[in-house]
Amino acid sequence: MNAYYLAILQGSVMTVGVSLAALLVSIILGLAGAAAKLSERPVLVALATVYTTLIRGIPELVLMLLIFYGGSIGLNHLMELLGSDTVIDINPFVAGVLTIGFIYGAFMTETFRGAMLAIPPGQAEAAWAFGMSRSQTFLRITAPQMVRYALPGFTNNWLVLIKATALVSLIGLQEMTYLAKQASAATRSPFVFFLFTAALFLIYTTVSLFALKKLNARFSLGTQRVQL
């Protein structure tokens, strides 16, 4: 019995790993998407709009199955065309990270776009007037302020992303949910194992919430708070 709890606890490392890796992917895609949407180039704007609209209209699970099962067949077809007969198996970790990152990249795009729009244009203009280059303006002026505006939306996305990692168990990645299901099948006592897993997820989301609140306080230094 205890061995199963220990296994689930070890599976939490995998959950944290998947979620952090997926977060990284989604931040990169989100920044690229937001930049594309604000670029005023019709092609880029259209691409980013199609991306965010499609992704937010399809369930995560369907996308994940599509990428995992479809991707491995597609890759093997590609290998055949290239004349190689090695069979590639898509690793569930990679498929999970890519899918979750790809999906939450769409949500991050909207969050980051909103944050970029929230910064008064005078800030960047002032920076240019001081002779800063575009990248300097972004790194020194725009990005630090963007963090503040993006944090509430980012926090929401992150919490939903953590919970989405449970779905990776359905494509066979051995994270908490997968191990809990295995433990329940082996011991015929599913209730306690799923409750234990739920508690671990709750701890993860609670700790994240606490940390992001601290971060929010740090980045909101010097802003006026209105009391109703």
Residues that bind another protein (CB under 8 A): 54, 56-63, 65-66, 69-70, 73-74, 159, 163-167, 169-170, 177, 180-181, 184, 188-192, 194-195, 197-198, 201-202, 205-206
Q: Which C-beta is closer to another protein: that of 28 or that of 202?
A: 202
Q: Are 33 and 56 in contact (CB under 8 A)?
A: no
Least separation, in Å, of the C-beta of 105 and another protein?
Answer: 16
Least separation, in Å, of the C-beta of 98 and another protein?
Answer: 15
Least separation, in Å, of the C-beta of 163 and another protein?
Answer: 4
Q: Which C-beta is closer to another protein: that of 57 or that of 121?
A: 57
Q: Which C-beta is closer to another protein: that of 32 or that of 65?
A: 65
Q: How far apart are CA 48 and CA 52, in angstroms?
A: 6
Least separation, in Å, of the C-beta of 201 and another protein?
Answer: 5
Q: How far apart are CA 23 and CA 164, in angstroms?
A: 11
Q: Are 90 and 75 in contact (CB under 8 A)?
A: yes
Q: How far apart are CA 143 and CA 127, in angstroms?
A: 13
Q: Which C-beta is closer to another protein: that of 21 or that of 162?
A: 162
Which DSSP state fits 170? G
Q: Which C-beta is closer to another protein: that of 41 or that of 56?
A: 56
Q: How far apart are CA 108 and CA 52, in angstroms?
A: 9
Contacts of 180 (CB under 8 A, 6+ apart): 8, 11, 190, 193, 194, 196, 197
Least separation, in Å, of the C-beta of 107 and another protein?
Answer: 11
Q: How far apart are CA 148 and CA 217, in angstroms?
A: 9
